[in-house]
Structure 1
């Protein structure tokens, strides 16, 4: 079932301020320990104000995460809007993804992989990103910019790798945010039509 995040029009200025603060706190410190009672005390707000953001702990977490990843998606899409080629678009897409995730702390990324409500959000966004990447690759092949490779296989490989990144499996080698940029470089150069197979 699709749910929506609170819109600017549906929240009072104080509620919007609270939502923004929660998002900043989650990104900086993670959210595994988040509780409504503790947030009400530390953020000096009423429960009714908090409940405008979400009626339960999981609903609040989900709405904050959806808001963040919606902005990530908008940022990456804007980055490729005026790309001169599919190769450039693919490079920009991965670079923008890395840049957009820079505010996310290791604690945030860890909680993304361990809390079911967060993992659901990440999986949804990873699939959407994979679809965009697959489209760019397919268009690049049709334009002769990329070598002919099985696009669906490559997309599955990318989605699996991005899932492993989110789970922290490469955290001992690179900061999670940087892995997307490195992954993008490997993909672009690996399928470049001018590169030798």
Structure 2
């Protein structure tokens, strides 16, 4: 069963990667390493949650987030086609779980973060706002924990970069890698 879990994660990841190929410029060694990491992390999630809906929800979301983080890190943008794919998959899982409250979280948090982005003059990018809104379809209220952890990690990284003189106060950091790391932390600690 572990081989099937590993293989299904790698195949889904390959599909997402092909979906994003125009934004990706990594060589094959890096892509292979990312695919192996995704497969191994999926096996870890399987060992924690078993063959449950949570496994599929978390695996789908972090696979999408890994590729999103790579695109955002390299290009400083999150493609809308990835947001649309995430919404479709999130709605499917929301219907499977029959949890209508996630729509309320999605709309409320997206509007709130849109206001934050508008007031802060783009300090929080609109791609991040849409991505976080999509993640609500998967996670519901758990998104608040992810945002807190991601913000803390981003602040710590920014402070370290400023102290090492590799950045200044105006340096922009892509937020989706921190969201991805926060999701992985939340998955592991439950």
Is TM (by shorter chain) over 0.5? no
Q: Give the TM-score normalised by the residue count of structure 2.
A: 0.32
**Structure having the higher Rg:** 1
| Greater helix fraction, Structure 1 or Structure 2 | 2
